[in-house]
Amino acid sequence: MSGCPFGHGGGSDGKTSGEQPRSQGGGAVPTGHDPDKSAAPVPAGKLTYGSYLKVPELLSLQQEQSRPVHHDELLFIISHQVYELWFKQMLHEMRGVCGYLDEGRPLRAAALFDRLHGIQNLLIQQIPVLETMFSVDFAQFRDHLRPASGFQSVQFRLMEFMAGHKNAKVLGLVGEDEDARAQMASALAAPTMYDHLLRFMGKAGLAIPGDVLARDFTQKYEGDERVVQALLPVYHDTERYYPIFRLCEHYLEFDERLSLWRFHHVKMVERMIGGLGGTGGSSGAKYLQSTVANRLFADLWSVRDHLGGGKRTY
Ligand code: HEM
């Protein structure tokens, strides 16, 4: 929206010129299949801060379950809600990355990764705020949350699927919510952000095997030595292949930051509930610890084995 009172500078007319440095801005992010675009109409009449951002509605969404209401439950709810908002933004940017790669615009895709990493940092930095809650206080209202659990965060699962961590089993975690299950099923079947990168690199002339490009997208991609070999020229001549090289490093950084979030989350969980099982029915910290080492983009980790001397040890 142009002339936005909150300084968003004018929107775009949906047209974009070729690659531009990020500082010059401009250009609509391709959102083709973006469900967010079906948003409710902007309210009629003169906009105010509150009506544009729907502040009254937003502030009515924190409903504690504990009785008497525990002082810390508000922090617990708001922390999770803020995460969900950032997850929404991340999904939006991830779709943007895929769209730009399909359009052959790697620099614009790379610019969106800067934003994604910034948000990922926030997600990590937010954890100490929730850790100001003492475990003895959490214990006083935790039972009121059962059986709700972060396990059921649909947006987190959509992000995992889009990033490449495909796991059909998690479709069973969302209870009766058929709409959420349908969204997850569609994300499970769709190419991942990495599949879009592979396609882009193939079009750019790298020797990405056809069977990798045509793989079964419902399955987690575990990496392929032929792709690693195809990536070696990029890593041996980073200047020549700079846009691809930069993108690959952005993907790796995304992967690393997701693991860092998982690590900080599990430390918080250990601190809050020790070895107790989760409200979602898992073994709690033990299960979460097993996810910290998850890797999304196997090839990008493996390519490093070929860049220096020495033998691979794991
Ligand atoms: C007091 C703070 C928290 C505790 C004690 C906690 C505990 C847990 C536990 C035990 C699990 C394992 C699933 C289960 O059995 O329930 C889990 C999963 C999860 N939690 Fe939290 N959590 C906390 C805060 C958060 C916050 C602030 C978020 C932000 C959205 C979050 C997001 C998630 C997600 C996405 C999962 C699924 C992870 C996966 O399956 O890989 N949690 N949490």
pLDDT at 35 over 60: no
Atom of ligand 1 at shortest range from CA of 279? 16
Task: Say yes or no to pLDDT of 277 above 80.
Answer: yes
pLDDT attached to residue 3: 37
CA distances from 137 to 69, 161, 275 (A): 12, 34, 17
Is the CB of residue 184 less than 8 Å from the CB of residue 157?
A: yes
36 in a structural domain: no
Above 90 in pLDDT, residue 211?
A: yes
> Does residue 303 carry a pLDDT above 90?
yes
In the predicted structure, residue 121 carries a pLDDT above the cut 80: yes
* 104-118 average pLDDT score: 98
Mean pLDDT, residues 227-255 taken together: 98
pTM for this entry: 0.89
For 267-286, what is the mean pLDDT? 95
| Between 73 and 12, residue with greater pLDDT | 73
Which atom of ligand 1 lies nearest, measured to the CA of 133?
1
- pLDDT attached to residue 37: 56
pLDDT for residue 28: 55
Residue 209 phi/psi, 5-degree rounding, is -60, 140
Q: Is the residue at 52 inside a domain?
A: no
Is residue 98 one of the residues assigned to a domain? yes
> Which ligand 1 atom sits closest to the C-alpha of 127?
27
**Which range among 14-28, 55-69, 168-182 has the greatest average pLDDT?**
55-69
Q: Which of 241, 2, 253, 245 is nearest to 115 (CA)?
A: 253
Q: Over pLDDT 90: what percentage of the chain?
A: 80
Instruction: Measure the CA–CA gap between 163 and 116, rounded to whole angstroms.
Output: 12
Give domain status of residue 15, yes or no: no
pLDDT band at 41 (very low <50, low <70, confident <90, very high): low
The pLDDT score that the predictor gives to residue 8 is 37
Higher pLDDT: 29 or 236? It is 236
- Give the mean pLDDT of the chain: 89
Rounded mean pLDDT, 264-271: 98
* Residue 44 domain flag: no
List pLDDT tens digits, range 127-158: 999 999 999 999 999 999 998 999 999 999 99
- Asked whether the beta carbons of 222 and 298 are under 8 A apart, the reply is yes
The residues, ordered by sequence, that sit 6+ positions from 72 with a Cβ below 8 Å of its Cβ are 133, 137, 138, 141
pLDDT in tens, 84-104: 999 999 999 999 999 999 999
DSSP conformation letters of 191-228: PPHHHHHHHHHHHTT----HHHHT--TTSPP---HHHH
Give domain status of residue 12, yes or no.
no
Please tell me the residue having the least CA distance from ligand 1 atom 37. 151
2 within some domain? no
Per-residue pLDDT, 25 = 43
The CATH number linked to 279 is: 1.20.58.480
Domain range spanning residue 110? 70-150+193-306
What pLDDT sits at residue 32?
A: 44
Q: Minimum mean pLDDT among 43-52, 259-268, 297-306: which range?
A: 43-52
Residue 265 CB contacts under 8 Å (≥ 6 apart), including other chains:
127, 288
Give nearest CA residue, ligand 1 atom 28: 80
Give yes or no for residue 52 having a pLDDT over 50. Answer: yes
Is 50 exceeded by the pLDDT of residue 311?
yes
- End-to-end CA distance of the chain: give it in Å, rounded: 52
Distance (angstroms) between ligand 1 centre and the Cα of 146 equals: 13
What Å distances lie between residue 176 and 180, 185, 200, 269, CA to CA?
9, 14, 38, 27
64, pLDDT greater than 60:
yes
In a domain, 294, yes or no: yes
- Ligand 1 atom index nearest CA of 283: 15
178: closest CA among 154, 206, 204, 209?
154
- Written as one letter, the residue type at 10 is G
CA–CA gap between residue 99 and residue 196 (Å, rounded): 9
Question: Which pLDDT does position 59 carry in this prediction?
Answer: 98
Domain count across the chain: 1
Q: Does 269 sit in the ligand 1 pocket, CB within 6 Å? A: yes
Contact 259 CB / ligand 1 (< 6 Å): no
Cα 215 to averaged position of ligand 1 atoms, centre (Å):
32
Q: Is the CB of 278 under 6 A from ligand 1?
A: yes
Confidence of residue 38 (pLDDT cuts 50, 70, 90): low
pLDDT tops 50 at residue 290: yes
Q: Ligand 1, residue 123: give the atom nearest the CA.
A: 29
Distance between Cα 168 and ligand 1 center (Å): 19
What whole-number distance in Å separates Cα of residue 291 and Cα of residue 273? 18
